[in-house]
């Protein structure tokens, strides 16, 4: 997620902007920049750097400016690779307007072509540049009016701040879905994506609400509703958090914050991927990739860890909806197995970081064998994203907790949409079914919210089990990978042993583990194998195992067989791994906390395994 800082006041602006950006580094970013207006020169000074704030500082090279107004930005790339030219702030063609932005302008393409038809030259590949260009195009000497007029045309989630060379005494900001706060100082005001950027200067903040436009001057701020232009009065609130707490949005750690971000992340993915006419769109998927999706004889999902579990779910999805033979394999096995692959085969590599060594090696192996490679990646411009023949981004935002949560459910949603898209391409899904799937997919963010509600009881389960040292996770069908993923979450943050198993395998060995000390987490949402799963649970109960069931709300059978039931809303099986992931993430988290583990940075683990 991008970071925004703005300042208007009586102090030197540049140090305040740089300091604020440094406090936003935790959000993850790939480039940074600042813009300020030098009162003497009446010009916008712009400094941008690919990489870190340290790189931006070396470009500034100690540059001092009497500027008392400016904006700064750390970019988490969504459109256009990380580069200096794509870094924010972006200027209008005449250099009169500068903008920093967090979010996505969904309709940037049509706005960009409209402006290009008027002869306006664009420099970057970003959607953000459209904001600066359109404001400048409308600007007739009143920045606030120009911003309002332009903002009425933007679609999508966005928060941005604009400044004008010709009116160097105020900033104008708009808040829509993505956060924006105003810091209230004495003779100075701040704008930021989150309070951590401005806490050293003020604890008095105003949280803007959607569709609010604010004029920020040194001595006053004015908030109005974008459309009605009605004045909005808001009382500042006093922040009691430390910087560290502020960076976590008030959560005790990044992992819990990211677990609770999942409804918003999934909502954003659906907004971006599903058009108004209920079609699925992958903006980065070219003709060639679609051709391969349509004609491939087989698909191989290759990835590691959590991403491998997503690949296993992807295998079920593509077989069910695209009627395409699919396999999932861990990258470290794939790369040394001399895979039987060739022209016409499709390899889908799934990776949050886009830098995992085994997955990168597998990509290169697959290309060498002549297969077409499609990467499903979270980090824009990462190595795997650049080297694959095609890429689809999961847009989960920066995931800081080492244990993957929102990136995983973002992968699952992206793979589901890709499977439906492929099924439609291959004529395997009727128009009616396709529309039904889209409507059901759009329900998922709310269902995840409901699941987070249902999961409030998980802390009772955690208190019951947190001293156990061995756990068994069982699932069938789409939720067999969920059992593996749930056991991985528990292993990596609690350091207890947890084993994920296909429930049908119980009688082939694992049932010997069952006694009255053995916790067994059973995934039993409504599905075509529900009855089979119920018998597995009966077998466990017959041996006095401790059954924790993740079941569909309203299930009347499971209560008598379980020590505890955690519910998920009723949902089509293909989406159930997204829902079952939630209580499993929270269970692992709660047990880790009860064992005083460092949930964000578990021992021995790295966020991106860039070595073999």
Rounded to the nearest whole angstrom, what is the least distance from the CB of residue 552 to ligand AGP in the complex? 26
138 CB-contact burial (10 Å; exposed 0-12 / middle 13-18 / buried 19+): middle
Q: Is the dihedral of CA 182, 184, 185, 189 positive or negative?
A: positive
- Are residues 578 and 409 in contact, defined by beta-carbon separation less than 8 angstroms? yes
CA-based nearest residue to 285, from 383, 399, 377: 377
Q: What is the dihedral of CA 54, 56, 58, 60, to 10 degrees?
A: -140
Ramachandran angles phi, psi of 384, nearest 5°:
-65, -35
Comparison of 30 and 492: residue with beta carbon closer to ligand AGP = 492
Rounded to the nearest whole angstrom, what is the least distance from the CB of residue 376 to ligand AGP in the complex? 10
- Which residues have a catalytic role annotated? 2, 607
Q: Give the span between the Cα atoms of 525 and 148, in whole angstroms.
A: 48
| Beta bridge mates, 5 | 72, 192
What does DSSP assign to residue 554?
Answer: T
Binding site residues, ligand AGP, CB under 6 A: 304-307, 351-353, 356, 359, 402-404, 492, 608-609
User: Helices 458-465 and 576-594 sit at what angle, rounded to 10 degrees?
Assistant: 50
Rounded to the nearest whole angstrom, what is the least distance from the CB of residue 412 to ligand AGP in the complex? 13
Comparison of 193 and 306: residue with beta carbon closer to ligand AGP = 306
Comparison of 410 and 551: residue with beta carbon closer to ligand AGP = 410
Q: What is the dihedral of CA 345, 348, 354, 359, to 10 degrees?
A: -70
Q: Give the span between the Cα atoms of 412 and 414, in whole angstroms.
A: 5
- Report the number of secondary-structure helices (H) and strands (E) in the chain: 19, 25
Q: Give the span between the Cα atoms of 443 and 447, in whole angstroms.
A: 6
Comparison of 102 and 353: residue with beta carbon closer to ligand AGP = 353
Task: Classify strands 212-217 and 170-176 as parallel, antiparallel or unpaired.
Answer: antiparallel
- Are residues 485 and 511 in contact, defined by beta-carbon separation less than 8 angstroms? no
User: Tokens standing for 511?
Assistant: 């049932």
Residue 382, SS3 per DSSP: coil
Task: Classify strands 564-568 and 546-552 as parallel, antiparallel or unpaired.
Answer: parallel
Rounded to the nearest whole angstrom, what is the least distance from the CB of residue 367 to ligand AGP in the complex? 17
Closest residue by beta carbon to ligand AGP: 305
Contact residues for 541 (Cβ-Cβ < 8 A; gap 6+): 547, 561
Q: Give the span between the Cα atoms of 609 and 410, in whole angstroms.
A: 20
Rounded to the nearest whole angstrom, what is the least distance from the CB of residue 358 to ligand AGP in the complex? 8
Comparison of 225 and 608: residue with beta carbon closer to ligand AGP = 608
Residue 115 burial (CB count, 10 A): 20
Rounded to the nearest whole angstrom, what is the least distance from the CB of residue 125 to ligand AGP in the complex? 24
CA-based nearest residue to 110, from 358, 302, 276, 314: 276
CA 474 to chain centre: 28
Comparison of 535 and 610: residue with beta carbon closer to ligand AGP = 610
Q: Give the span between the Cα atoms of 238 and 204, in whole angstroms.
A: 5
CA 491 to chain centre: 23
Rounded to the nearest whole angstrom, what is the least distance from the CB of residue 350 to ligand AGP in the complex? 7
Q: Give the span between the Cα atoms of 276 and 54, in whole angstroms.
A: 42
Comparison of 133 and 352: residue with beta carbon closer to ligand AGP = 352
Residue 199, SS3 per DSSP: coil
Comparison of 83 and 608: residue with beta carbon closer to ligand AGP = 608
Rounded to the nearest whole angstrom, what is the least distance from the CB of residue 308 to ligand AGP in the complex? 8
The Cβ-side half-sphere exposure at 451, using a 13 Å CA radius, reads 32
Comparison of 511 and 609: residue with beta carbon closer to ligand AGP = 609
Rounded to the nearest whole angstrom, what is the least distance from the CB of residue 605 to ligand AGP in the complex? 6
Comparison of 534 and 584: residue with beta carbon closer to ligand AGP = 584
Rounded to the nearest whole angstrom, what is the least distance from the CB of residue 586 to ligand AGP in the complex? 14
């Amino acid at each position: 997620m991008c970071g925004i800082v703005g300042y208007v006041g009586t102090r030197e602006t540049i140090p305040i902007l740089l300091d604020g950006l440094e406090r936003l580094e935790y959000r993850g970013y790939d480039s940074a920049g600042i813009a300020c207006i030098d009162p003497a020169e009446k010009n916008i000074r712009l400094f941008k750097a690919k990489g870190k704030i340290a790189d931006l500082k070396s470009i500034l090279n100690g540059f001092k400016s009497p500027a008392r107004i400016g904006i700064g930005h750390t970019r988490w790339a969504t459109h256009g690779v990380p580069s200096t030219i794509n870094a924010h702030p972006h200027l209008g063609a005449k250099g009169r307007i500068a903008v920093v932005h967090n979010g996505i302008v969904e309709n940037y393409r049509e706005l960009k072509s409209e402006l290009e038809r008027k002869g306006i030259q664009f420099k970057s590949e970003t959607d953000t540049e459209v904001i600066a260009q359109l404001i400048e195009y409308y600007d007739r000497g009143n920045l606030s009016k120009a911003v309002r007029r332009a903002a009425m045309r933007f679609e999508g989630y966005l928060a941005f701040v604009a400044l004008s060379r010709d009116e160097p005494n105020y900033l104008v900001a708009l808040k829509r879905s993505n956060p924006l706060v105003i810091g209230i100082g004495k003779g100075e005001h701040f704008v930021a994506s989150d309070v951590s950027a401005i806490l050293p200067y003020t604890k008095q903040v105003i949280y803007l609400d959607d569709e609010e436009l604010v004029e920020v001057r040194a001595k006053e701020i004015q908030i109005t509703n974008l459309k009605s232009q009605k004045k909005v009065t808001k009382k500042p609130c006093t922040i009691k958090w430390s910087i560290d707490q502020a960076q976590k949005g008030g959560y005790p750690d990044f992992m819990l914050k990211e677990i609770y971000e999942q409804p918003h992340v999934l909502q954003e993915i659906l907004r971006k991927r599903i058009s108004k006419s209920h079609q699925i769109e992958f903006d980065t998927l070219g003709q060639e990739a679609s051709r391969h999706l349509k004609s491939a004889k087989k698909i191989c999902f290759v990835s590691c860890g959590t991403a491998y579990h997503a690949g296993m779910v992807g295998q079920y999805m593509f077989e069910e909806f695209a009627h395409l033979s699919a396999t999932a394999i861990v990258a470290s096995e794939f790369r040394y197995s001399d895979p039987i692959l060739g022209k016409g085969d499709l390899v889908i590599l799934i990776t949050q970081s886009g830098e995992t060594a085994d997955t990168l090696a597998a990509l290169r192996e697959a290309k060498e064998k002549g297969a077409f490679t499609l990467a499903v990646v979270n980090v824009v411009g990462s190595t795997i994203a650049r080297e694959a023949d095609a890429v689809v981004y999961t847009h989960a935002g920066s995931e800081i907790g080492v244990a993957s949560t929102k990136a995983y459910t973002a992968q699952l949603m992206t793979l589901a949409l890709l499977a439906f898209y492929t099924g439609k391409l291959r004529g395997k899904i009727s128009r009616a079914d396709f529309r039904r799937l889209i409507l059901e997919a759009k329900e998922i963010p709310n269902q995840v919210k409901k699941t987070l509600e249902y999961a409030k009881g998980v802390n009772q389960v955690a208190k019951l089990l947190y001293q156990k040292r061995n756990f068994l996770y069982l699932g069938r069908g789409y939720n067999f990978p969920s059992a593996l993923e749930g056991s991985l979450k528990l292993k990596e943050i609690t350091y207890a042993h947890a084993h994920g198993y296909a429930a049908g395998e119980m009688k082939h060995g694992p049932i010997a583990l069952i006694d009255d000390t053995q916790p067994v987490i059973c995934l039993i949402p409504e599905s075509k194998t529900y009855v089979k799963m119920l018998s597995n649970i009966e077998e466990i109960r017959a041996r006095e195992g401790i059954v924790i069931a993740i079941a569909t709300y309203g299930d009347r059978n499971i209560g008598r067989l379980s020590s505890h039931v955690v519910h998920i809303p009723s949902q089509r099986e293909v989406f159930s791994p997204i829902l079952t992931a939630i209580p499993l993430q929270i269970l692992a988290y709660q047990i880790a906390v009860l064992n005083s583990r460092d949930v964000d940075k578990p021992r021995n683990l790295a966020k991106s395994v860039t070595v073999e």
